[in-house]
Chain A
Amino acid sequence: MVGLSVGEKNFIKHGIAQDLRNDGRKRLTYRPIYVETGVIPQANGSARVKLGATDVIASVKAELGRPSASHPDQGKVSIYVECSPTAEPSFEGRGGEEFSAELSTALELCLLGGKSGAGAGIDPSSLSIKEGKVCWDLYVDCLVISSDGNLLDALGAAIKAALSNTGIPRVQVREAASSDEQADVDVSDEEFLQFDTNGVPVIVTLTKAGRHYIVDATSEEESLMSSAVSISVNRQGIICGLTKRGGAGLDPSVILDMISVAKHVSEQLINKLDSEIEAAERANEEEP
Chain B
Amino acid sequence: MEYVNPEGLRLDGRRPMEMRQLRAEIGVVSRADGSAAFEMGNTKVIAAVYGPREVQNRSQQMNDQALVRCEYSMANFSTGDRRRKTKGDRRSTEISLVIRQTMEACILTHLMPRSQIDIYVQVLQADGGTRSACINAATLALADAGIPMRDLVTSCSAGYLNSTPLLDLNYLEDSAGGADVTVGILPKMDKVTLLQMDAKLPMDIFENVMQLAVEGCKAVESYIREILLENAKMLEIRRGA
B residues whose Cβ falls under 8 Å from a Cβ of A:
28-32, 35, 42, 46-48, 50, 71, 73, 75-77, 79-80, 82, 86-88, 118, 120, 122, 124-125, 127
Contact = CB atoms under 8 A, between A and B. Distances in A.
Contacts of A39: 124
A98 to B, nearest CB: 15
A86 B31 CA distance: 9
B77 A84 contact: no
A25 to B, nearest CB: 18
A162 B17 CA distance: 37
Interface in A11-50: 39-43, 46
Contacts of B46: 84, 86, 145
Given A46-B77, A61-B82, A145-B122, A93 B29 contact: no
Contact of B29 (A59, A80, A145): A145
A92 B120 contact: yes
Contacts of B30: 53, 146
A87 interface: yes
B76 A82 contact: yes
Contacts of A139: 76, 82
Given A87-B31, A141-B77, A42 B50 contact: no
Nearest to B75: A143
A53 B122 contact: no
Contact of A143 (B29, B35, B76, B87): B76
Contact of A82 (B32, B42, B86): B86
Contacts of A88: 31
Task: Kindly state the interface size class of chain A when it binds its partner.
Answer: 20 to 34
A85 interface: yes
Interface in A144-170: 145-148
B49 to A, nearest CB: 9
A42 B77 contact: yes
A63 interface: yes
Contacts of B48: 85-86
22 contacts: A40-B77, A41-B125, A42-B77, A42-B80, A43-B77, A53-B30, A53-B31, A59-B77, A61-B77, A61-B82, A63-B82, A82-B75, A84-B73, A84-B120, A86-B35, A88-B31, A89-B118, A89-B120, A92-B71, A143-B75, A143-B76, A146-B29
Given A87-B29, A143-B124, A145-B46, A92 B118 contact: yes
